[in-house]
Amino acid sequence: MNSRPETPPAREISRISPYLRGQLFLFDRPMLPGYSSSQGYKLLAVFLVLEAIVRPLLKYGARAMGITHRDWWSLLQLSFLLVLACWLVTRLAGVRLSELGLYPWRRWALTEKLYFPQILGITVAVFTVTQWDELKALRTRSDLGRIGLFVFVPQMIWGLYQEFVYRGILQTELVRRCGARLGILLSNLIFTFGPLHYYHFAAARDHAGHLWIFAAIFAIGLYFAMLFHRSGNMWIVGTLHGLGDSFIDGLGQVSRMVS
């Protein structure tokens, strides 16, 4: 049965300006998805196939063929992963993408439409201040078209893929089965310590202080988890994650590229 997450009474929410509701996570949705329990098991299978089989195989296959550092590889790999994830969800699990947060703009509630440009502006402003030196260096590059296509586009796709798989697929199903608190906690623990970020353990062998990065990953993941749980909008969390990846990892990647 569909049900809404706990929110303050409608009368209290109505007193708050729609411009501020998103900042307080007082969104109008979501209704919980209406797919069956068997479809939920298939969603969990899709998650395992993507993260435990397909993505590692692509990684090791690229290394074996020596194409890991080719400009086009990230764009090709991540585009394939995102398309495959959507195909498996709809074809194997039989779940509509809209049930996992990928619904069109016309279906966005007013609070979502007002919150999205606000949070985008805040995100870009914060990263512009913190990454100003890297951005200034970017202006001097003569290969901005190449950088945009092979660095920033893949980073945006990568952010959307992570959110769709870990929040859209995994969190949605765990929340449906275990309830909001436990479902969000479990999915975020898997996001933090699972196959996506497990490589940080190897880095910590030489620098134990590197383990602190898990605290940051967990905190950021919890923010995205709560934002998705309260809004139900995958486009918002996916775009924010992609922007973060672009400013942090993307600019670092650019600094290592030969112009």
Q: What is the mean pLDDT of each run of 10 residues along the chain (259 residues)?
A: 50 74 86 90 98 96 95 97 98 97 95 96 96 91 94 98 98 96 98 91 78 93 97 97 96 82
Q: Which residues of 15-32 are buried (b: 16+ CB within 10 A; e: fewer)?
A: eeebeebbeeebbbbbeb
pLDDT of residue 205: 78
**CA dist list (Å): 214 to 35, 102, 167, 221:** 33, 28, 18, 10
CB 134 within 8 A of CB 255: yes
Structure tokens at 182: 């436990």
Separation between Cα atoms, residue 109 and residue 116, nearest integer Å: 11
For residue 12, the model assigns a pLDDT of 53
Q: Alpha helix (H) ranges present in the chain?
A: 10-14, 18-21, 37-48, 55-65, 71-87, 110-130, 132-139, 144-147, 153-163, 172-178, 180-193, 199-203, 213-231, 234-245, 251-255
Biggest CA pair distance of the chain: 61
Query: What's the pLDDT at 7?
Result: 53
Whole-structure pTM value: 0.92
Q: What is the pLDDT of residue 198?
A: 86
Q: Report d(CA 259, CA 254) in Å as an integer.
A: 9
Question: Which residue in 50, 81, 43, 6 sits closest to 174, CA to CA?
Answer: 43
| pLDDT at position 52 | 96
> Residue 211's pLDDT is what?
84
- What is the pLDDT at residue 8? 56
Residue pair 101/232 in contact (Cβ under 8 Å)? The answer is: yes
The rounded distance, in Å, linking the Cα atoms of 165 and 162 is: 5
Query: What is the per-residue burial (b if ≥16 Cβ within 10 Å, else e) of 163-176?
Result: bbbbbbbbbbbbbb
CA dist., res. 224 & res. 241, Å (int): 8
- 113's CB contacts (< 8 A; 6+ apart) are 105
Structure tokens, 259: 């112009």
